[in-house]
Amino acid sequence: MVSYKRLSPEDVQFTNAVASEEAPVREEGKDPEETDRPLLPRRPSCSATTALISLGSLLLLVCGLWLLVTIFWLQAPSNSVPHRAPPPRGSPGTGGGDGSRALPEPQACGVVPEAWRFDCYPERGVVVTRELCEARNCCFIPASSSPPAPGRNGVPWCFYPPGFPSYSLVSVNATDLGQTGTLVKMVKTYYPKDILTLQLELLYETDNRLRVRITDPSESRFEVPIAVPKATEKASNPAYSVELSNEPFGIIVKRTSTGAVLLNTTVAPLFYCDQFLQLSSSLSSQYIYGLGEHRSSFLHDIHWNTLTMWARDVAPTELTNLYGVHPFYLAMDEGGTGTAHGFFLLNSNAMDVVLQPGPAITWRTIGGILDFYVFLGPDPASVIGQYLEVVGYPAMPVYWALGYHLCRWGYGSSNATWDVVKNMRNYGIPQDVQWNDIDYMDRSLDFTFDPTAFSTLPDMVKDLHSHGQRYVMMLDPGISSVQPEGGYWPYDEGLRRGVFINHTDGSTLIGKVWPGLTAFPDFSDDVTHEWWYDNLKRFHDKVPFDGLWIDMNEPSSFVDGSTVGCPDTELENPPYTPGILGGLLRAKTLCASAVQKTSSHYNMHSLYGLLEAKASARALKRMLGKRAFVISRSTFPSQGQYSGHWLGDNRSHWKDMYTSIAGMLTFNLLGVPLVGADICGFSEQTEEELCVRWTQLGAFYPFTRNHNSIDQKPQDPPAFSPRARSAMKQSLLLRSSLFPLLYTLFHRAHTHGHTVARPLLFEFPKDVRTYGIDRQFLWGKSLMVTPVLDPGVDYVVGYFPQGLWYDYYTGDSIRSKGEELRLKAPLDHINLHLREGAVIPTQRPNTTLFVSSGQPLHLVSSLSEDGSAGGELFWDDGESIDTLETDQYAHVVFTVVKNTMTSEVLHDHVEASYITVETASFYGVKVEPTRVTVNSHDAAFTYRANQVLTVTDLGLNLSQNFTISY
């Protein structure tokens, strides 16, 4: 048999791809055979005279030496330009023509540590035997470790040997943007339709962003149709170096400042078949985040954890593919250095992402191309900003999107809905938006409302508007296909324009959703976008809604594939199926072979929610002339440009409340900061204590909505006892008071790709204790939230990173060495703390943001040990499109240095002139002042024993610079 050796990073000979001028480059037009090293070294030639003189014993010695050299050379790594791999011997998985198996050597298998075993037989539902494993020329050794956790695969028993065949890099050429290369594979794999020649493209797009594309040079393949930036010149001073392994091919990406290896694909063989692409790499540490959408802790478990990606309608469940697909991760580098990097695979096909304790990761997708980015950071926040430079910064939300939203499935009528709104007003509980679920529709038909039960819906919406409130309705993508001809315009007009997804024979694919048999719009077609707009406009003329909730858009169907099934094709039954719920690509959705304008549903499925959100946002902007508000269940990279997201159909459980924090933080990493969970839980009966605690937490979701299911008891705040109702009201008023801070954070997300709700590790990346925290979080840099997440307690334990912290409500200070503290937490209280060095703008709250956004400001400064602090405020009219681009905004920076606060107006607009600064508080003023001046005039103030100075009756115009000295 031919012996292969998989090389470790220490063994392999590298081509330095950054120093491209020095890389071994095959000359243009030169025969590869002239540069390729021969498979065996040439035997030294002997003259005839020497042969006559030589004794027989000398001849035997020479031959013996030649044999030893040959054996050594075959086992040694390539140390110059690559050589051609030997040709295939027999069919995949077999030995030569004599039928003997080319099995890996037992000693080679035995040296592979369990943590570094890469699964050679990942198919589910198969009992992998030694015979099956060895048929793939892989190692079979039962794991010695303990059995896997429930739902986990555990250590592979069948894994790649060190010498499993992969691609060879046979040429490298310099380009204006980086390098290109040719990869060749001479030994076929056990998956069909190997692509034996590949094109490698390395693009040094910026100093902190590397792009790698591996494609089929002979045939175009599906690529994700989202806009990404195109580099025009090569990075001049990259923070990364790239090294290429020739034989076997691999890519090693290092951080130049530290030499840390961020990516090393030599750890396992590369696969590139028509419907099976696999890329493995080492990870820089065990600290990895992102990879949505899944229900899990914020920090992923790397112990044989498979995360499947394929958009699916299912209530959030561990180890299950959920509504959205986001093949991006953030990883902290090893050693507590505080540095981080990111990785993004631009691929929408069904895939498994396998984390293992090496630490290592395997990407296993069944279509498209390998097109990935590496982001160098160096800190976590910079990684996210660099990722969002590629997929797009999130949209600036309309102001009322940041208020309190109320909904339920099962109000039953518009009058019952209206009564809930009136009760909220009567109790003075903040509410900005009222929603209705599907029960508002006439027979669950999109773009209709029940003429009997919801006959007063238009009047209710007008009443909401008169009180400064807004109305959001839900839409499903499924359009009823069984209404009488001429009786349902959306379907009739959709057929006429050809907007629906079809079978391969051209007939309309019919599934089943809430209205019964349905067709599904193809949002990859611009014609569909126009049809969608027309439907929205026609309905808006009857019910003047303000925003859209797009649900069931994975897309979901109550039948697998279609009502007539799906054809038996490779798209429906690929050689490998990732671990999707239901085991089939068509499970509870459309046929994978279904035809859309851009490509097959096999390729487009997980893009459906993104494309519907794009069509919806465009339609709302066009129709209303204001910022669009869209909340989508299914999401994909770049989603934040068009919509927010809620975390799906959760349950009224304490654990669901806890896991919502991880979901919120993860979607902030993924560029969808307008995110939250259904407060109090969607399904099952909630409890009063749970609902109070969840409302307190939910007040700090970027998107705050209470929503529950049909046949469950009401869970709007007025439905509870006076004590609970009061606690909920207090937390919602608190959120309303923090609107200026929250709005400014969304401005930073929109313009710089910042997170809004932020994990502690972002601000304290050198504190390893923050890496696993998902029971606390920050708003921006400075406001730390520590909610109660357990029943029956009146305290909570929170971690305080090293530094000075202040109780938000009282100003009492805490000097932490980096420690956990036990905090009082009665039922009506959520713990908030301000980090030293911040100035945050707050506002006198009201029951709607329409009213409170015009109220005076209160500035809160949390001073550092040296007495300094800083902050900012962004302000505009809250709803106009592109106010930054049209210069219709105000931007004010606040600085505290040496006992003086300075307000500097960086940009002024008339809207800001309506806002005044009424009071200012300073936490941590060590010496009681004898005098306070505002713009050199004496001002009223109070000073408390806990070192809190409050200056009152200011009446300062926000659009003018001012100083406060003490």
Distance CA 714, CA 807 (A): 34
C-alpha distances out from residue 729 to 270, 828, 849, Å: 57, 10, 15
Give me the phi and psi of 51, to 5 degrees please.
Answer: -65, -40
667's enclosing H/E stretch is helix 654-669
Helices (H), 352-456: 380-391, 414-426
> Identity (one letter) of the amino acid at 666?
T
DSSP strand pairing (288-292 vs 305-309): unpaired
Round the CA-based radius of gyration of the chain to a whole number and report it: 31
**Does residue 505 carry a catalytic annotation?**
no
Distance CA 163, CA 586 (A): 37
Helices (H), 111-265: 130-135
**Does residue 554 carry a catalytic annotation?**
yes
Distance CA 872, CA 874 (A): 7
- Token output for 374: 């590496």
Sequence-distant (≥ 6) Cβ neighbours of residue 910 within 8 angstroms: none
- Token output for 598: 């851009």
Find, among 145, 125, 124, 121, the residue nearest to 133 by Cα.
121
Find, among 503, 490, 523, the residue nearest to 606 by Cα.
523
Spot the catalytic one: 551, 763, 774, 836.
551
DSSP symbols for 442-480: STT-TT---TTTTTTHHHHHHHHHHTT-EEEEEE-S-EE
Angle, vertex CA 876, rays to CA 964 and CA 468, nearest 5? 110
Distance CA 101, CA 96 (A): 7
Edge-first strand listing for the sheet containing 250-255: 14-16, 240-245, 250-255, 261-264
Give me the phi and psi of 890, to 5 degrees please.
Answer: -125, 145
Give me the phi and psi of 74, to 5 degrees please.
Answer: -65, -30
Find, among 252, 271, 175, 258, the residue nearest to 15 by Cα.
252
Find, among 635, 781, 60, the residue nearest to 325 by Cα.
635
Spot the catalytic one: 389, 554, 612, 656.
554
Find, among 114, 133, 111, 112, the residue nearest to 122 by Cα.
133
Distance CA 388, CA 279 (A): 23
Say if CB 835 and CB 805 are below 8 A apart.
yes
- Whether omega before 248 lies within 30 degrees of 0, making that bond cis, reads yes
Q: Is 404 exposed, middle or buried (0-12, 13-18, 19+ CB in 10 A)?
A: buried
DSSP strand pairing (305-309 vs 340-345): unpaired
The region that residue 484 occupies, defined by phi over 0 for left and psi between -120 and 50 for alpha, beta otherwise, is: beta
Find, among 477, 623, 494, 478, the residue nearest to 547 by Cα.
623
Catalytic residues: 551, 554
